[in-house]
């Protein structure tokens, strides 16, 4: 028995402890390769803007980003298109900051070189490039976990407790989601760089070594280049100093070693200069604000909302962080100065985050803006586990660990499968709480989409009611239905005429009405009402058919809209009318094609007839 304990003890001490950081990252990488990403793509949503700097410079040499339509049409569904371009006095600028592109550069170049050697597509968005971004996210997670280890060691946290902190931060918080799914968002990268900043800034305060100072300035430059508002990490320096006396001595010593300070400032300047140089290359100006019309409202912060709301509350969606706050008790007993300065830093971060105009930070899992600063919660966890006087905190964390990991994994699964909605309320939250059945997939999203569509269509209805109809196009499916399998042509049940189209899971799209933009009176914008009649033979439980419009060019669709059927208004064994009203103000060319069709996503069948478009 003693030999067995000795063997297992040696394995744990020699392998688990020594290589814990690597093992955790490897586990995340394995899951990411098997189950991460949306629709095969790691580069999504906001990430397209950050990443576009690389493809624009190294592949297309086009900082006007004219290549966007090509990759969107080839690799992405129309509803997932993302627009990151901003008009600045007639020139085009990328609205995002370039820091993430800098961090992704080695991985991008490796993917590009590999694609050329192996004969794969070299367009910047093919699968090898996508996987390179997925690998990059796990790599920077590894750096963050290493940084947590080194930082907590400075506070004498035991190795076993450091591993537990790493596990909690990785698997019980949205860090896991933003590493495996939204890998092209900035948060895992900011988290990594800020964690390393905390470590090297602390090391410089302790030993005044030049290399630690230079690394601190370099990391600060990256922090600003990724997200300028994160320069607030400088407010953590009083805490990192450990005492008021140490803070003063560190600043005095910094200015005494002015040569090192100058070198550090130059390093910082070189890093952050990447952004103004890119701005100048794009619009001819070094300093611009691309987020026009949005910003901070420091007189109206939503502190309670960002911390506790059903919409995006930090502690509601990541409850494990509540238990980290026990670390303040240990810290306050040890040093009131450190407790107060760390609390002040957290308060500042919360205030700035909650003052952003979109304090819920859009479509995201959890409150993503806090992820960048998780090193603070990691430290508090470590201090709570270290506390010898109140061991109850340690045991509480031991007990809750499997539950909070399970909860987070369920919620990650829910968000990835469209069960959790990004704009939740109390009713929505409890309606899908811990639900994983397929019947809940997209339920809240569909309900919210239907409501938004109703409101949008009502607005357009009021706008269109006094306009005059210019052209009407009809398709009653009475002519030659080229390309339609005879099995899906119905002659027995029609709304008018002798022919209709049967839609099933094997034939989900009806023939479409196609109109050249050049045939319309106004070729710069399009205003139209589209409608069709759908026969529903069996009761519908979901919004199973949709009327779709798209405007396409040689690169694919750049306008896409789908209006869903409304279950409560569907009559069974009867013909139902579905319609949409649409305004497209940015038609790109008279050569483009407008297409309208019916899309069926149900499992049985419906019958479609009398497709019509009225142009105004």
Question: Of the candidates 403, 446, 396, which has an alpha carbon nearest to the alpha carbon of residue 421?
Answer: 446
Residue 182: φ, ψ to 5°: -85, 60
d(CA 605, CA 508): 9
Would strands 593-600 and 545-553 be described as parallel, antiparallel, or unpaired? antiparallel
The domains of the chain are located at 46-288+299-416, 460-615
d(CA 45, CA 72): 11
Q: What is the pLDDT of residue 603?
A: 79
Q: What is the pLDDT of residue 13?
A: 59
Would strands 85-88 and 91-94 be described as parallel, antiparallel, or unpaired? antiparallel
CA 401 to chain centre: 26
Residues whose CB is less than 8 angstroms from the CB of residue 521 and which lie 6 or more positions away in sequence, other chains included: 470, 471, 615
Which residue is listed with tokens 């990594």?
192
Q: What is the pLDDT of residue 74?
A: 87
Q: For residue 123, what are its two tokens?
A: 């367009």
Mean pLDDT split into 10-residue runs, the chain, 616 residues: 52 67 88 80 94 96 91 82 85 94 97 96 95 96 97 95 96 96 96 98 95 97 96 97 94 91 96 96 90 86 96 96 96 96 98 95 93 98 92 93 96 93 93 93 85 84 79 86 85 92 91 89 87 87 82 84 82 90 88 93 88 90
Q: How much of the chain is helix, strand and coil, in % rounded to 5? A: 55, 15, 30
* Eight-state DSSP code of residue 469: P
Q: Are 532 and 578 in contact (CB under 8 A)?
A: yes
CA 164 to chain centre: 27
Q: Where are the alpha helices (DSSP H) in 284-390?
A: 303-308, 314-317, 320-324, 327-334, 336-355, 374-386
Q: For residue 549, what are its two tokens?
A: 């419009």
Q: What is the pLDDT of residue 294?
A: 80
Q: What is the pLDDT of residue 543?
A: 65
Helix or strand holding residue 152 (H, E): helix 127-153
Q: What is the pLDDT of residue 2?
A: 54
Q: Are 536 and 576 in contact (CB under 8 A)?
A: yes
Give the CATH architecture of domain 460-615.
Sandwich (2.60)
Q: For residue 594, what are its two tokens?
A: 């407008």
Q: What is the pLDDT of residue 98?
A: 96
Query: Taking the model in full, what pTM does it have?
Result: 0.84
For 444-474, b where at least 16 C-beta lie within 10 A, e where not — what string?
bebeebbeebeeebeebeeebeeeeeeeebe
**Which residues is 533 bridged to in the sheet?**
577, 609
């Amino acid at each position: 028995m003693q030999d067995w304990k000795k063997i297992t003890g040696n394995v744990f001490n020699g392998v688990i402890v020594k290589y814990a950081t690597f093992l955790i990252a490897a586990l995340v990488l394995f899951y990411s390769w098997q189950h991460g990403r949306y629709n095969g793509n790691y580069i999504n949503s906001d990430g397209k803007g950050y990443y576009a700097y690389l493809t624009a410079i190294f592949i297309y040499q086009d900082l006007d980003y004219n290549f966007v339509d090509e990759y969107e049409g080839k690799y992405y569904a129309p509803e997932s298109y993302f627009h990151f371009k901003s008009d600045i006095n007639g020139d085009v600028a990328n609205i995002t900051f370039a820091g993430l592109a800098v961090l992704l550069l080695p991985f991008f170049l490796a993917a590009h070189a590999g694609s050329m050697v192996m004969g794969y597509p070299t367009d910047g968005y093919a699968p090898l490039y996508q996987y390179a971004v997925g690998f990059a996210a796990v790599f920077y997670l590894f750096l963050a976990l290493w940084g947590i280890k080194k930082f907590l060691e400075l506070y004498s946290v035991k190795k076993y407790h450091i591993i537990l902190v790493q596990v909690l931060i990785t698997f019980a918080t949205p860090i896991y989601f933003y590493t495996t799914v939204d890998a092209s968002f900035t948060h895992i990268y900011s988290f990594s760089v800020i964690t390393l900043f905390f470590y090297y800034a602390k090391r410089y305060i302790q030993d005044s070594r030049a290399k630690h100072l230079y690394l601190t300035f370099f990391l600060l430059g990256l922090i600003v280049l990724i997200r300028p508002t994160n320069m607030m990490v400088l407010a953590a320096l009083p805490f990192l100093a450990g005492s008021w006396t140490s803070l003063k001595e560190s600043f005095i010593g910094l200015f005494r070693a002015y040569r090192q300070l100058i070198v550090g400032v130059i390093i910082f300047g070189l890093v952050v200069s990447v952004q103004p140089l890119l701005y100048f290359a794009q619009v001819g100006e070094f300093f611009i604000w691309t987020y026009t019309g949005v910003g901070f409202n420091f007189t109206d912060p939503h502190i309670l909302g960002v911390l506790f709301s059903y919409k995006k509350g930090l502690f509601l969606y990541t409850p494990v962080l509540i238990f980290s706050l026990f670390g303040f008790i240990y810290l306050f007993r040890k040093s009131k100065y450190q407790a107060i300065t760390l609390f002040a830093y957290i308060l500042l971060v919360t205030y700035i985050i909650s003052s952003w105009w979109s304090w819920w930070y859009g479509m995201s899992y959890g409150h993503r803006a806090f992820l960048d600063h998780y090193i603070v919660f990691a430290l508090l966890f470590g201090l709570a586990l270290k506390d010898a006087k109140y061991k109850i905190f340690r045991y509480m964390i031991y007990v809750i660990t499997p539950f909070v990991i399970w909860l987070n994994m369920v919620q990650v699964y829910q968000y990835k499968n469209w069960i959790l909605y990004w704009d939740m309320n109390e009713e929505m939250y409890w309606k899908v709480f811990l639900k994983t059945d397929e019947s809940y997939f997209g339920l809240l999203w569909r309900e919210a989409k239907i409501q938004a569509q109703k409101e949008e269509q009502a607005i357009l209805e009021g706008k269109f009611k006094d306009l005059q109809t210019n052209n009407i196009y009809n398709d009653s499916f009475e002519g030659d239905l080229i390309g339609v399998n005879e099995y899906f042509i119905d002659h027995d049940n029609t709304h008018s005429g002798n022919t209709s189209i049967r839609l099933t899971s094997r034939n989900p799209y009806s023939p479409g009405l196609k109109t050249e933009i050049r045939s319309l009176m106004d070729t710069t914008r399009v205003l139209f009402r589209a409608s069709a009649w759908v026969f529903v033979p069996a009761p519908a439980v979901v919004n199973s058919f949709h009327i779709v419009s798209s405007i396409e060019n040689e690169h694919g669709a750049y306008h896409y809209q789908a209006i869903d059927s409304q279950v409560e208004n569907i009559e069974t064994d009867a013909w139902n009318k579905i319609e949409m009203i649409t305004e497209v103000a940015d038609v790109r060319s008279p050569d483009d094609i407008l297409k309208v069709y019916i899309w069926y996503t149900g499992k049985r069948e419906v019958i479609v007839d009398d497709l019509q478009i009225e142009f105004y």
